[in-house]
Structure 1
Amino acid sequence: MAAVNCKKADTKFCFEDIIARHSLFAAMPDTLVEGFVHAAQPITVSKGSTLFMQNDEAEWFYIITKGWVKLFRETLDGDEAVIDMVTTGHIFGESAIIDDGIHSFGATAVEECDLLRFPSKMLKAAVAENHAVALAMLGSMSRHRKQQTREIESLNLQNASQRIGCFLLRLCRVNDVEPISLQLPYDKSLIAARLGMKSETFSRALNKLRNDTSIAVKGSNVEIPEIDALSHYACTACSSEFPCDDLH
């Protein structure tokens, strides 16, 4: 598998920079971080590649350096529930070390992705031996729980069009110049699944959102003429308002 985009001579420093961005590693002493830097393995996976499945033993955890990864669970009848879509900078698979070393969800690349992978047994040992690392893990779990709570709120209180509007808002920044032009980060079918709706429901809700807010959609390109109009439309049924810190 190919490596991430680091010059060969500077690979160690590239890994250090990537790792240093995560609060999980920031809680570790320098000697322990150095161990993870040396253990890091850069990989590139093709679109559709499965990194692990639900109930697999956790051998690795990952940081995404480029691309999108789908996290999902399977129902007893074989249907797939998308629980998250994660991209550059996100860490995933690490929570399995506190769940009997078994992954509670599966992970699949939705496009070609560059990743750093780390041995799960190293993180498990670090958590067991260092209170600061254990607290950092708890902090990470708390943030995930907060995001899940927000998503439950969204499913219960926002209609389908408002959930799509919320999704689009989280692709925007406060200082973006209007009209704002966006490109959807992945397929509409995956966006629909991530927002808890069927593809046909997504299409109808997107049409309603266009009519109600005057956004323009052509293929994967979206133009938002007025951010205030979209935020007013989407945020009225939410306990937060734009800009929102949580990400889809």
Structure 2
Amino acid sequence: MVEIEELRTGALLSGLTEEQLVRVACHASRLRLDEGQLLFSQGDPAERFYLVLKGQVRLFRLSPEGTEKVIEIVTPGQTFAEALMFLNAPRYPVCAAALCPTELIGIDARDFASMLRDSVDSCFVLLGNLSRRLRAMIGEIDNLALHTATSRVARYLLMKLPAGRRTLDLGMRKGVLASRLSVKPETFSRVEKKLIELGTIEVQGSQVTILDQTALEEIARLGHSQELTLMPCASAARPIREQ
């Protein structure tokens, strides 16, 4: 049974009326995934979109060679695959799997789209959500095009650092994070080692402590020509396999 208050935790759904939330709940289902469990595969029919309640979901694509590229990490309160409801016979363009034990709600995409036809306000809520997602994707393209592997790692650490804190938890395996930042695992390890040697950060497992935030902010602004003497990896990253 899906509770209305659970639906309200999603930014996309929080603006719906009580009547609309009841309708969504009646057509929704609760799912629980174990760590590494696949939710759907690239090319599967997209009949539902999802709201994460607990845990994390990684969205990724597989190359013909089986190499995995992480597109996005979805956290509690976020929805994903909602834009597909506007396509005819949509199929998921990515795979989705749980990074850790995860609880989520599957929402009937066809019924939700039908509901939107009767509510202009709800359409604008959805458009706002999709616009924010688009801006984030543009920022991601800018990050990949204009920043080195080192600056991308530095920018990520600064972005995830809680306000007023010096320590953050990466929250995922470093291989997954490397793919999310579009760097090879070997490159990520060298960047991490270099930042440690510079006295910028300290690492204990998944815990990262920022020792010199000013220096890290400067590294985050470095252009391609200012890479910290890191050599590119010659070997291809090994694909991450489901357990």
Which position in structure 1 is the counterpart of 2:198? 212
2:239 is matched with which residue?
A: none
Shift of 1:87: 1.2
Question: Which residue, out of 205, 211, 232, partners 1:225?
Answer: 211
Matched residues in 2 for 1:203 and 1:229: separation?
19
**Measured at CA, do residues 220 and 236 of structure 1 come closer, stay the same or move farther in structure 2, by a change above 3 Å?**
same
Shift of 1:136: 2.3
- Aligned-pair CA distance for 1:77: 3.5
* Partner of residue 139, structure 1: 128
SS in 2 for 1:222: strand
Aligned with residue 75 of structure 1, among 28, 42, 63: 63
Contact 1:213 1:229 in 2 (8 A): no
Alignment partner, residue 88 of structure 1: 76
Alignment of 1:1-248 (within 5 A): 15-100=3-88, 101-176=90-165, 180-235=166-221
SS in 2 for 1:25: coil
Task: Report the Cα distance in structure 2 between the residues aligned to 1:57 and 1:129, rounded to whole angstroms.
Answer: 25
Percent identity of equivalent pairs:
29
Cα distance in 1 for partners of 2:5, 2:215 equals 39
Structure 2 residues without counterparts, runs of 5 or longer: 224-243
> 2:83 is aligned with what amino acid?
S
Structure 1 residue 236: Cα displacement:
5.4
**Aligned-residue CA RMSD (Å):** 2.0
* Distance change in 2, residues 1:130/1:29 (3 Å): same
Partner secondary structure for residue 170 of structure 1 = helix
Equivalent residue letter for 1:215: I
Query: Is residue 200–residue 213 contact of structure 2 (8 Å, CA) maintained in 1?
Result: no
Letter in 1 for 2:213: I
Task: Give the SS at the match of 2:19.
Answer: helix
Distance apart, 1:79 and its partner CA = 2.5
- Matching residue's letter, 2:50: Y
Q: Distance in 2 between matches of 1:233 and 1:87?
A: 27
Q: In structure 2, how many angstroms separate the alpha carbons of the residues matched to 1:73 and 1:138?
A: 25
How far apart are residue 25 of structure 1 and its match?
2.1
Letter in 2 for 1:158: H
Match of 2:231 in 1: none
Name stretches of at least 5 consecutive residues in structure 1 with no aligned partner.
Answer: 1-10, 238-248
TM-score, normalised to structure 1, is 0.81
CA shift for structure 1 position 193: 0.2
Give secondary structure in 2 for the equivalent of 1:117: strand
Letter in 2 for 1:182: L
Cα distance per residue 1:84-126 (max 9 Å; x no partner) = 0111111112121123332122111111101122212221212
Distance 2:9 2:99 in 1: 24
CA deviations 1:161-206 (Å, max 9, x no partner) are 1111111112213322xxx222220000000000001111111111
